[in-house]
Structure 1
Amino acid sequence: MIVAFSVAPSGTPLDGPAGRGDDASVHTAVAAAVKVVRDSGLPNRTSSMFTEIEGEWDEVMDVVKRATEAIGQYGSRVSLVLKADIRPGHTGEITGKIERLQSALGELG
């Protein structure tokens, strides 16, 4: 399965390194979540709005849970947006889907 997710803190920071700067940026909090994803060893990619991760249901959901928990120190609540492509028996789709798209674009000339 591939999961695309985004987590962001809101509310008053609990205990932790939140509150650095006053520009309402959440990059430090997001970095904590992305570190959890990258440390998982599962195939992943991060864009400006979402992080994608590929693996089996339980391992992917465990990583999403831990990434969400990592954000928790930056606010009193956490927003999680998640979209999943559940396709049993298929692996390598985090890159395979992009490769097929690029091929189709090339065919359109």
Structure 2
Amino acid sequence: MIGERIKQLRLQRGLTMTELAERAGIAKSYISSIERNLQTNPSIDCLTKLSGVLRVPVSALVQENAEEEVLLDAAWTELLREAMDSGVSTEEFRQFLEFNKWKKQNVTA
């Protein structure tokens, strides 16, 4: 269940429920209700915030057999957070990656 996976990942990361709540910007009581399986259908926005703090893809929270140990090093995590805070959208980031792939293919060809 989602709540059990969130709790397990939180504990693996050495986070208290309060720390997770503060970092994700979600009420501690809401996280508690998820972890205790009282709330079994959290929003995608909530899951996205939690997955960011726990450094796993959202799929690791919702799929029982998803790989849970996809970790980003601190530099990448900080860079992504800065990009998000500065207003870079997912689509803009995706366009940058596509341009970079195109550039590599055309420069080395």
Shared fold (TM-score, shorter chain, > 0.5)? no
Flag the structure with higher strand content. 1
Structure richer in helix, relative to its length: 2
Q: TM (normalized to structure 2)?
A: 0.29
| TM norm structure 1 | 0.29
* Structure with more contact order per residue of length (Cα contacts < 8 Å, sep ≥ 6): 1
